[in-house]
Amino acid sequence: MAIREVLQLGNPGLREISQAAEDDQMTAKIVDDLRDTLTFLQEKHQTGRALAAPQIGYKKHIIYANLPEEEIVMINPEIKEYSQEEFMVWDSCFSFSLAFFVKISRYREIKVEYQDESGRTLVRNFKDDLAELFQHEIDHLKGVLATDHLTDGKNIIMREEWEKTIKNSERSK
């Protein structure tokens, strides 16, 4: 168990395609490292919900999410279904040092099949913010970053400006 350094935009390791995880001690170590690293980052930045193994240097299909209502470990996740409906979201990433946001399109609902830490296969539906989150994290397993989904260079904003304009306007709705 350790707090690991998060690879940053431009590091070629973020672009490598990860491999399936095995049910072994290494997978357990990666989950522990993801848990420790995300907990540290959440305390430090007061934000963030999940990390994928490639972000901390492991080329394995493992995601750890620490949400207010639950902790989710996804081993070998695969999106089985996408809704037809899409929506626009402002997305940031620990691999961008949370320095900026990109406005991108994501599917509103997804169905994901994965194994949990005990090896059980689960199939869950996620919608809205959780659908966006797990699409983002599963992209990391494929070497894809949120910036790859940008279709308009005007849809990028520095964090400070996002907090002043976008975040505050969304709160007032």
| Residues annotated catalytic, as ranges | 137
- Beta-bridge partner residues of 79: 112
Instruction: Please state the three-class secondary structure of the chain as a single string.
Output: CCCCCCCCCCCHHHHCCCECCCCCHHHHHHHHHHHHHHHHHHHHHCCCCEEEHHHHCCCECEEEEECCCCEEEEEEEEEEEECCCEEEEEECCHHHCCCEEEEEEEECEEEEEEECCCCCEEEEEEECHHHHHHHHHHHHHCCCCHHHHCCCCCCEEEHHHHHHHHHHHHHCC
With a CB cutoff of 8 Å and minimum separation 6, the contacts of 28 are 117
Instruction: Please name the amino acid found at residue 49.
Output: R
